[in-house]
Amino acid sequence: MADTPDLGKLWKQLTDNVGGGVSEALDKLKKSSIGEQVQSWIGKGENKPVNADQVTQAIGQDQMEQIAQQAGTTPEQAAQAMADKLPGMVDKMTPDGQLPNPQSI
């Protein structure tokens, strides 16, 4: 197992598990316990941090385990990688404070 899971693989597994792609995955996260943080990543301004436990709670333990297994890592490593990298990744995908066109991703 890799020490640092590949965020691209984790993101793909997240969008595959949620179904419907990037917009639906971000929508699920916005409606979760980390909704305020996710909105800060999309909007302009400072990106509020999250920790691995918050990411796991937002996604759900069962889904996190599936995502980690499919990405070839542990749920803890997957959650930590998402907590570390998602704020910056979502911020870059939404430079104008808007979700991107799904076809452009």
Domains of the chain: 7-98 (1.10.10.690)
Q: How far is CA 67 from CA 16, 20, 26, 73, in A?
A: 9, 16, 16, 9
Q: Global pTM?
A: 0.85
- 1-23 pLDDT tens trace: 445 678 888 888 888 887 778 88
Structure-block tokens of residue 45: 């301004």
Q: 55 or 23: which carries more pLDDT confidence?
A: 55
Contact predicate 36/93, CB 8 Å? no
Quick check: 35 pLDDT over 60? yes
Quick check: 54 pLDDT over 80? yes
Quick check: 104 pLDDT over 80? no
Residue-averaged pLDDT of the chain? 87
Q: 38 or 20: which carries more pLDDT confidence?
A: 38
